Structure 1
Amino acid sequence: MVIDSHQHFWQYDPQRHSWMTQEMVSIQQDFTPELLQEVYQSNGVDGCVAVQADQSEEETHNLLALAKAHSFIKGVVGWVDLRSEAIAERLSYFSDQPVIKGFRHVVQDEPDHHFMLGSEFKRGITALKTHDYTYDILIFAHQLPAAVQLVDLFPNQPFVIDHIAKPVIGDTDNFSFWQKHIKALSAHEQTYCKISGMVTETTWGQWTYEDFEPYMEAVLEAFGPKRLMFGSDWPVCLLSGDYKQVKGIVERFIHTLSKDEQQQIMGGNAASFYGLSI
Structure 2
Amino acid sequence: MRIDAHQHYWKLDRGDYDWISPETTTLYRDYLPSDLESELTRHGIGKTILVQAAATHAETEFILELAAKHDSVAGVVGWLDFDDPKWPEALERFKANPKFRGIRVMIQEMKDPREALRPHVIEALRGFASEGMPVDLLAVSNQLPAVIELLELVPGLHAVIDHICKPQIEAGVTEPWATQMKKIAERHPGVYCKLSGMVTEADHRGWKPDDFTAYVRHIVDVFGPDRLMYGSDWPVCLLAASYSQVFDVLERALPDSLAEEELEAIYGGNAARFYRIGHAGRPEHPEA
TM-score (norm 2): 0.91
2:196 maps to what in 1? 196
Amino acid in structure 1 at the alignment position of 2:154? F
Deviation at 1:91, TM superposition (A): 2.4
Deviation at 1:148, TM superposition (A): 0.5
2:283 maps to what in 1? none
Cα distance change of structure 1 residues 205 and 274 upon mapping to structure 2, 3 Å threshold: same
Is the 1:51–1:78 Cα contact (8 Å) retained in structure 2?
yes
Q: Distance in 2 between matches of 1:136 and 1:121?
A: 14
Is the 2:16–2:56 Cα contact (8 Å) retained in structure 1?
no
Question: Is 2:174 the counterpart of 1:175?
Answer: yes
Q: Deviations over 1:163-189 (max 9, x none)?
A: 0101120434x4120011101111201
197-206 or 96-105: bigger deviation: 96-105
Question: What SS does structure 1 have at the residue aligned with 2:24?
Answer: helix
1:142 maps to what in 2? 142
Q: Distance in 1 between matches of 2:14 and 2:134?
A: 29
Deviation at 1:21, TM superposition (A): 4.9
Question: Is 2:35 the counterpart of 1:19?
Answer: no
Q: Distance in 1 between matches of 2:21 and 2:28?
A: 9
Deviation at 1:130, TM superposition (A): 5.3
2:286 maps to what in 1? none
Is the 2:212–2:253 Cα contact (8 Å) retained in structure 1?
no
Q: Distance in 1 between matches of 2:127 and 2:261?
A: 35
Amino acid in structure 2 at the alignment position of 1:160? V
Question: Is 2:62 the counterpart of 1:62?
Answer: yes
Q: Deviations over 1:188-223 (max 9, x none)?
A: 011100000000011113111110001001101110
Percent of matched pairs sharing the same residue:
36
Q: Distance in 1 between matches of 2:263 and 2:253?
A: 10
- Output the aligned Cα RMSD: 1.7
Deviation at 1:15, TM superposition (A): 4.7
8-17 or 53-62: bigger deviation: 8-17
Q: Deviations over 1:87-133 (max 9, x none)?
A: 43332332232311110132212111312111121122123235532
TM-score (norm 1): 0.94
Is the 2:170–2:201 Cα contact (8 Å) retained in structure 1?
no
Amino acid in structure 2 at the alignment position of 1:58? A
Cα distance change of structure 1 residues 90 and 123 upon mapping to structure 2, 3 Å threshold: farther
Amino acid in structure 2 at the alignment position of 1:276? I
132-141 or 46-55: bigger deviation: 132-141
Structure 1 residue ranges without an equivalent (≥5):
none
2:253 maps to what in 1? 253
Is the 1:87–1:127 Cα contact (8 Å) retained in structure 2?
no
Cα distance change of structure 1 residues 15 and 96 upon mapping to structure 2, 3 Å threshold: closer
Is the 1:84–1:120 Cα contact (8 Å) retained in structure 2?
no
Cα distance change of structure 1 residues 9 and 215 upon mapping to structure 2, 3 Å threshold: same
Aligned length: 277
Question: What SS does structure 2 have at the residue aligned with 1:6?
Answer: strand
